[in-house]
DNA sequence: CTGAAAGCGCTTACAG
DNA sequence: CTGAAAGCGCTTACAG
């Protein structure tokens, strides 16, 4: 039989109320009593029943994470799994648990959100991506349910929406700066999903820093983050002669662009990617890539959400640093 | 304010007990009453509080999934994410929720298991991998806590351990059969983690089917599932001349082997991999690979566990079919 | 500093 | 066929 708070109380010769207060380390309990109770807890191997605790405290200490349905195909991209790891670490530190839901489409994601909320299962929700006119975000706002988004939400203005993201503008500015100092005068840019906020911010950094430094810019957008997109983007981009480097908003695009370049006398062109994807079976030379610190994004998202739940949050957003990783050739 | 069972009872003019019985569709409630109560539920938008329900039923309807700590590095491999998807699907169908824990090492995994159990948080646990002398498995067995393993556990003999896996022996037999019929007389095999049951079973199928068909076998084992291992395994393997095909126990190894072959006049050698990894940045030609149906493994694991929890399980294991995918060259 | 009592929102024998 | 009552294992005003 499971040991309950009553068993501990009996063993320590106190009331269940006192045991409860010792557990929450209430200042109103005498040190001697605390010590005695703790000994009983230890001895009996007591651990509180979270269900009972949740029922009365109305806090489950569970956070629901909704995986975007595109995740399925995006899983060549290690972002999600690393974000999950970060989420898990932060949750554990704060003594929270994590629940994941995979929607099969946007409707399914919304259903997961509704389900979480209506059944009182989670204290807060974490979304792994911010879409334009995101239905989950809109629903959560309407319900005034605590949530956090990884990525910059459309209406950054609303102070009540929690979010974490990289400073994507700054990250690209930094790359342009390095390239420019390195003598590059004509730089290309290949992106996908032009209407995602992340794309918009990266392009902005690209254009502004380039103009500041007198660098000529050439931009191509494709539909999806695939190798094929990178390849065809590069084909279009390099009709323009003299481009000596290309920034791709994802390593997957960069793989495709690299293939095009290797096939078309472009081996000298410097490639820069985003998201540091281990190229596994990639037979081409490696290229530098911006590490967006996916785990950090997940971790900070949860920290932000929990501080909101505790009403101790100072800010409604958090910027996670990126790091340009320059990679040398290796097997 | 959240609507509770009392509100519904009042609205429908019955007692809370009756509402509860309607929800569980007890046969002892009159149809007319049921209809009335259901209307009230609908009208008030009532959803039961899972915490309260769990407290009394002593079932949380939550399953804890422990991610192996190696997952971090193995995440170039889509197995885990797809298994998670399958797990999620099966859970949802059965009205269960899933909780994930990431241990930082084997100790951390064990802590997660202990934590899940002692706090009465989950009804059962799913492990995503079976190690030799697996501490989590041993602990769970000792506690007699319901759990399921994806992968064949060391002691298959114990009828009380639930597991799901592919028929790895059969999968390799099938490949050898096809190769042999195709005229291959000398076949290589590159594996990693020789002491994993999955390796042992694949090698067994390889050796036995080859001997049956008079095929000469050449085997190399490396430490880890990396490209570098595949590359060096191939280098050793192909000291032997005349090998016309090579079976790699993972696509990652196959990528490395392929690189070696392309660099050493081995483009004609037929490569077969496992786990169908999208080669993303892979610039070499594609090769055939065995789809182990990771999502199916996850789904069946959860089904098995849930039927165990309901005491309706017939068997303690389930074999999930594999499928050899032959891939044509494409971008 | 500590305890008795009420209550969180359900379910389930027990009665009728 | 339905209801009143007890109880799941906690927490937290309220009293002292």
Q: Report pLDDT digits (tens) over A278-321.
A: 655 455 667 899 999 999 999 999 999 999 998 888 888 999 99
CATH of the domain at A302: 3.40.50.2300
Residue B220 shares a structural domain with residue B184: yes
Sheet with strand B186-192: strands edge to edge: B216-222, B186-192, B245-248, B270-274, B288-291, B323-325
Cβ-based neighbours of A289, under 8 Å, separated by 6 or more: A251, A254, A272, A273, A274, A275, A276, A277, A324, A325, A327
Question: Residue B54: inside a domain, yes or no?
Answer: no
Same domain flag for B220 and B243: yes
Cα dihedral B126→B123→A101→A123 (10° resolution)? -130
Residue A64 C-alpha from the chain's centroid: 14
Q: Is A56 a member of any domain?
A: no
Residue B123 lies in a domain: yes
CATH code: domain of residue A14: 1.10.260.40
In degrees rounded to 5, what are phi and psi of residue B245?
Answer: -155, 155
A195 or B200, which is more confident? B200
A275 in the same domain as A195: yes
pLDDT tens profile A103-137: 778 888 898 898 888 887 899 999 988 777 788 88
One domain for residues B17 and B39 = yes
Looking at residue B1, its pLDDT comes to: 61
Instruction: For residues B160 and B84, state if they share a domain.
Output: yes
What's the confidence (pLDDT) of residue A125?
Answer: 95
State pLDDT tens for residues B284-302: 667 899 999 999 999 999 9
- Please indicate, yes or no, whether residues B302 and B276 belong to a single structural domain of this protein: no
CA proximity to B182, closest of B123, B106, B270, B95: B270
- Answer for A60: CB within 7 Å of strand C: no
Helices of type H across chain A: 5-12, 16-23, 31-44, 50-57, 71-74, 79-93, 106-118, 135-143, 168-181, 197-212, 227-237, 251-263, 294-309
Q: Nearest residue on chain A to B101, judged by CA atoms?
A: A88
Domain count, chain A: 3
Mean pLDDT of A234-254: 93
A119 CB and strand D closer than 7 A: no
- Does residue B17 reach within 7 angstroms of strand C, measured from its CB? yes
pLDDT at res. B73 = 58
What's the mean pLDDT when you consider all of chain B? 87
Establish if A178 touches chain B: CB-CB under 8 angstroms. Answer: no
- Tokens 């790091």 locate to A323
Answer yes or no: do A213 and A175 share one domain. Answer: yes
Is residue A319 classed as helix, strand or coil in its secondary structure?
Answer: strand
pLDDT for position A252: 85
Which among A119, A158, A122, A116 has a CA at the least distance from the CA of A138? A158
Confidence of residue B184 (pLDDT cuts 50, 70, 90): very high
User: Choosing among B5, B42, B51, B90, which should be mutated to test the A contact, i.e. which has the most A CBs within 10 A?
Assistant: B51
The reply to whether B329 falls in a domain is no
Assigned domain for A238 exists: yes
pLDDT at B74: 57
- Measuring from the CA of residue B58 to each C1' atom, give the nucleotide at the shortest distance: D8
**B175 or B285, greater pLDDT:** B175
What is the arithmetic mean of pLDDT over B209-238?
Answer: 92
- Whether A203 maps to a domain, the answer reads yes
Q: Are A183 and A242 in contact (CB under 8 A)?
A: no
- Establish if A55 belongs to a structural domain: no
HEC string for chain B: CCCCHHHHHHHHCCCHHHHHHHHCCCCCCCHHHHHHHHHHHHHHCCCCCHHHHHHHHCCCCEEEEEECCCHHHHCCCCHHHHHHHHHHHHHHHCCCEEEEEECCCHHHHHHHHHHHHHCCCCCEEEECCCCCCCHHHHHHHHHCCCEEEECCCCCCCCCCCEEEEECHHHHHHHHHHHHHHCCCCEEEEEEECCCCHHHHHHHHHHHHHHHHCCCEEEEEEECCCCHHHHHHHHHHHCCCCCCCEEEECCHHHHHHHHHHHHHCCCCCCEEEEECCCCCCCECCCCCEEEECCHHHHHHHHHHHHHHHHCCCCCCCEEEECCEEECCCCCC
DSSP structural state of residue A135: H
B33 in contact with nucleic chain C (CB within 7 A) = no
Provide the CA A115 distance to its chain's centre, in angstroms: 22
Say yes or no: A195 and A261 in one domain. yes
pLDDT digit string, tens, across residues A191-234? 988 877 888 899 999 999 999 999 999 999 998 888 888 999 99
Q: How confident is the model at residue A77 (pLDDT cuts 50, 70, 90)?
A: low
**What is the pLDDT confidence band of residue A260, given thresholds at 50, 70 and 90?**
very high
Query: What confidence category does residue B154 fall into, taking pLDDT thresholds of 50, 70 and 90?
Result: confident
Least reliable range by pLDDT among A235-244, B49-58, B293-302? B49-58
Burial of B195 (C-beta count, 10 Å sphere; 0-12/13-18/19+): exposed
Nearest CA in chain B to A287: B281
pLDDT score, position B281: 47
pLDDT at B242: 92
Q: Looking at the structure, tell me whether residues A214 and A243 fall in a common domain.
A: yes
Same domain, B283 and B317: no
- Categorize the per-residue pLDDT at B331 as very low, low, confident or very high, splitting at 50, 70 and 90: very low
Would residue A327 count as lying in a domain? no
The two three-digit tokens of residue A117, written as one number: 């909320």
Domain that holds residue B239: 168-291
Q: Between B51, B88, B281, which is nearest A120 by CB? A: B51
Q: Does B283 lie in the same domain as B179? A: yes
Judgement on whether residues B75 and B110 belong to the same structural domain of the protein:
yes
Q: Among candidates A232, A181, A236, which has minimal Cα distance to A209?
A: A181
β partners of residue B222: B192
């Amino acid at each position: 039989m499971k040991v309950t708070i009553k068993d501990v109380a009996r063993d320590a010769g106190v009331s269940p109320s006192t045991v409860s207060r010792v557990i929450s380390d209430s200042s109103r309990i005498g040190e001697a009593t605390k010590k005695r109770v703790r000994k009983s807890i230890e001895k009996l191997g007591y651990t509180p029943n979270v269900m009972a605790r949740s029922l009365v405290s109305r806090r489950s200490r569970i956070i629901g994470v909704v995986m975007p349905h595109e995740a399925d195909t995006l899983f060549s991209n290690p972002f999600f799994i690393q974000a999950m790891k970060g989420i898990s670490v932060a949750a554990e530190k704060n003594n929270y648990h994590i629940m994941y839901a995979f929607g099969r489409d946007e409707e399914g994601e919304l259903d997961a959100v509704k389900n979480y909320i209506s059944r009182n299962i989670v204290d807060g929700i974490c979304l792994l991506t911010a879409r334009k006119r995101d239905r989950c975000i809109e629903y959560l706002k309407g319900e005034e349910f605590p949530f956090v988004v990884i990525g910059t939400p459309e209406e950054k203005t609303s102070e009540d929406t929690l979010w974490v993201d990289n400073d994507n503008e700054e990250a690209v500015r930094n790359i342009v700066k390095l390239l420019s100092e390195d003598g590059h005068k004509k730089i290309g840019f290949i992106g996908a999903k032009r209407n995602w906020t992340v794309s918009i911010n990266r392009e902005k950094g690209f254009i502004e820093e380039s103009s500041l430094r007198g660098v000529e810019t050439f931009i191509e957008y494709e539909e999806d983050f695939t190798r094929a997109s990178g390849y065809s983007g590069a084909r279009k981009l390099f009709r323009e002669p003299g481009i000596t480097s290309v920034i791709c908003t994802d390593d997957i695009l960069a793989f495709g662009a690299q293939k095009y370049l290797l096939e078309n006398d472009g081996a000298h062109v410097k490639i820069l990617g985003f998201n540091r994807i281990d190229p596994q079976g990639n037979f081409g030379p490696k290229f530098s890539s911006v590490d967006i610190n996916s785990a950090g994004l997940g971790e900070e998202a949860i920290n932000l959400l929990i501080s909101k739940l505790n009403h101790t949050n100072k800010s409604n957003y958090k910027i996670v640093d990126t790091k340009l990783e320059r990679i040398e050739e290796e097997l």
